[in-house]
């Protein structure tokens, strides 16, 4: 199941790159498969992998995705340490974009995230924006192209 989802993800990613580069599909090798590209750690992950194709940042992957989704669905009730760590890591990680966070929280309840960060249930509606700007500020800052004048 992971291999099929990853293959779909990689094919979509390859197709997007073909469109962005305005090249032909023949320029990208057909052996663009999970076994040749993905790390061993990712292939051996047994507790779920989250895949997100962010149009602005590119492809994003998260290990232990099952812990995250089960922690979100529990709504703060009896979280295991792995679920609690997955909830905090999801927000604190530099490699996960705010778009990925918003996409996951669009389908899942957010009460466990509030509990993991000590945000009250009576918090104003912008609590998630505040949390994302605190932990993922680099995504909100202006980014300039890396151009060198020679």
- 16 in a structural domain: no
pLDDT value of position 20: 53
pTM value?
Answer: 0.68
Report the length, in residues, of the chain: 150
pLDDT value of position 65: 86
Q: Which of 99, 94, 89 is nearest to 54 (CA)?
A: 99
pLDDT value of position 63: 80
How many domains are there within the chain? 1
- 19 in a structural domain: no
- 45 in a structural domain: no
**Long-range contacts, 7-10 (Cβ 8 Å, 24+):** 7/33, 7/34, 9/51, 9/53, 9/59, 10/34, 10/37
- 30 in a structural domain: no
Cα distances from 20 to residues 12, 13, 24, in angstroms, run 12, 10, 11
Instruction: State the Cα torsion 143-104-76-65 to the nearest 10°.
Output: -90
pLDDT value of position 56: 80
- 104 in a structural domain: yes
What are the tokens at 138? 């680099």
- 149 in a structural domain: no
- 127 in a structural domain: yes
pLDDT value of position 39: 66
Q: Which of 71, 67, 128, 134 is nearest to 100 (CA)?
A: 128
pLDDT value of position 98: 92
Separation of alpha carbons 113 and 133, rounded Å: 15
Q: Which residues contact 114 (CB under 8 A, 6 or more apart)?
A: 120, 121, 123, 127
Residues of the chain with pLDDT under 70: 1-43
- Domain of 68, in residue numbers: 64-142
- 93 in a structural domain: yes
pLDDT value of position 28: 56
What are the tokens at 82? 């792995």
């Amino acid at each position: 199941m992971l291999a099929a989802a990853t293959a779909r993800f990689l094919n979509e990613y390859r197709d997007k790159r073909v469109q962005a580069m305005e090249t032909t599909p023949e320029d990208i090798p057909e052996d663009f498969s999970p076994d040749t590209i993905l790390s061993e750690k990712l292939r051996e992950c047994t507790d779920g992998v989250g895949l997100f194709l962010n149009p602005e940042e590119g492809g994003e992957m998260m290990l232990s995705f099952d812990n995250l989704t089960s922690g979100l669905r529990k709504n703060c009730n009896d979280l295991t340490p792995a679920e609690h760590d997955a909830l905090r890591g999801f927000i604190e990680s530099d490699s996960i974009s705010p778009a990925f966070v918003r996409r996951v929280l669009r389908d899942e309840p957010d009460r466990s995230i509030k509990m993991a960060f000590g945000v009250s249930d009576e918090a104003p509606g912008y609590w998630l924006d505040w949390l994302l700007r605190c932990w993922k500020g680099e995504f909100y800052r202006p980014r300039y192209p890396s151009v060198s004048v020679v």
